[in-house]
Amino acid sequence: MVRGVGIGLRRELMEPLLTTSRRVDWLELITENFAGLTGKPAVMLERFRSRWPLIPHGVGLSVGSAPPRGYLETLTGFIAKVDPPWFSDHLCFSSLGDRTWFDLLPLPRHDETVARVAAHVKTAQDATGRPLLLENITTYAEVPGSEYDEAAFLRRVVASSGAGLLLDLNNLYVNAVNHGLQPEALLEAFPVEHVRQLHLAGFSKDRGLLLDTHSTPVAKPVWQLYERTLKRCGPVPTLIEWDQHIPSLDAVLDEADTARALMDRFA
């Protein structure tokens, strides 16, 4: 059972995690850092799996183009090994043919994309036998050819594909600021009835834009969006996500405690 507040399993936090006495409800791991790998990653995976529920969170499924060669087979084996209640990836593309960019790249928001994503979600869910959650990504530019805004696109994708929504509130906030929208209005328009998991993270600023770097503490406006979301959705499993300038485990767990206290108010 995955409930409460988890943190991202990152290399810098591994050793402290194994010795901490503080509460950690579950862990989210980056699929590509463990899937199909033997040796040290497999050893570490077993150590953490024996103590906490693990949720694989991928960056490589590339539902907007197609999964890279061999990816789906590796993912399927990995999901069977970890046995999570769900797994997640992003509503984006990250590779095309034999090229991969290790980045979460935007898609044109129209019906052809909705159909393509739905087909890949179905393939992934059928192969793994587990529900797939798709995360809303940050975008720094509106790409040419879109017919829907972000909320309408998300609504169509989850309706057509059957995927759940991993709502990243930092991404929502970053997009709202970068595209001149009201974060609260954007949240209201999102299909929050499909939310199965939440992400909280921090952003950085560069050239007048907010960047989704996961390198700073969760910002106050994002906490406010979190409260609003909890009011609407109840105590959805929530992740504190850091990827750069990762602070001490205690600092990460302090944020997890803050999230848990808010979650308890809406349980």
Partner 1 sequence: MTPTLDTFLAEFGAMLDGRRTAREVESVLGPSPSGTARLGLYATLVKRQQTGAIDEFYAAVRVAAPAGYYEPLRNAYLEAYPPSHWAPARAAEHFPVFLEARKSSIELVELADFAWTRHLVLHAEATDALVVRHYTHAVKRFSNEVERDGRTRGRPEKDAETWLMGRSLLDGNLVMVEPSVAALVTVEVLHSGGWSDELPAIPRGVLLKEAERLIELGLLPPTSRAVLERLVP
Tokens of 22: 């503080």
Q: How many CB atoms lie within 10 A of CB 132?
A: 25
Contact segment (CB under 8 A) with partner 1 among 19-27, 93-101, 123-131, 246-254 equals: 93-101
How far is it, in rounded angstroms, from Cα 98 to Cα 224? 42
Give yes or no for residue 101 binding partner 1 (CB under 8 A): yes
Stretch that binds partner 1, among 34-42, 156-164, 184-192, 254-262 (CB under 8 A): 34-42
Q: Interface with partner 1 includes 141 (CB under 8 A)?
A: yes
Q: Which is nearer to partner 1, 138 or 238 (CB)?
A: 138
Report, in Å, the least distance between residue 260 CB and partner 1.
31
CA angle 157, 160, 163 (to 5 degrees): 65
The SS3 call for residue 25 is coil
DSSP 8-state secondary structure symbol assigned to residue 245: S
Report if residue 50 touches partner 1, rule: CB under 8 A.
no
234/50 Cα distance (integer angstroms): 28
Tokens representing 154? 């998300």
Both structure tokens of 42: 């497999």
> How far is it, in rounded angstroms, from Cα 210 to Cα 205?
5
Task: Please report, for residues 29, 55, 89, 158, 195, the alpha-carbon distance to residue 254 in angstroms, rounded to integers and kept in the order given.
Answer: 19, 21, 26, 33, 24
> CB of 143: closest distance to partner 1 in angstroms?
6
Nearer to partner 1, 109 or 155 (CB): 109
* Shortest CB 178 distance to partner 1, Å: 8
Q: Which of residues 162-181 bind partner 1 (CB under 8 A)?
A: 179
Q: Is 110 an interacting residue with respect to partner 1 (CB under 8 A)?
A: yes
Please report whether residue 246 would count as binding partner 1 according to CB under 8 A: no
Tokens of 153: 């696109």
Q: Is 6 in the site for partner 1 (CB under 8 A)?
A: no
Query: Between residues 25 and 32, which has the closer beta carbon with respect to partner 1?
Result: 32
Token readout for 262 is: 């808010």
Give yes or no for residue 105 binding partner 1 (CB under 8 A).
Answer: yes
CA 21 from chain center: how many Å? 26
According to CB under 8 A, which one of 98, 126, 129, 267 is a site residue for partner 1?
A: 98
32 belongs to the binding site for partner 1 (CB under 8 A): yes
Q: Is 191 exposed, middle or buried (0-12, 13-18, 19+ CB in 10 A)?
A: middle
**Binding flag, residue 238, partner 1 (CB under 8 A):** no
Q: Which stretch binds partner 1 (CB under 8 A): 139-147, 190-198, 216-224, 256-264?
A: 139-147
Burial grade of 13 (CB within 10 A; 0-12, 13-18, 19 or more): buried
Of 83 and 147, nearer to partner 1 (C-beta) is 147
Q: Is residue 192 within the footprint of partner 1 (CB under 8 A)?
A: no
Q: Which residues bind partner 1 (CB under 8 A)?
A: 32-33, 36-41, 43-44, 60, 64-65, 68, 70-71, 93-96, 98-103, 105-108, 110, 112-113, 116, 140-145, 147, 179, 209
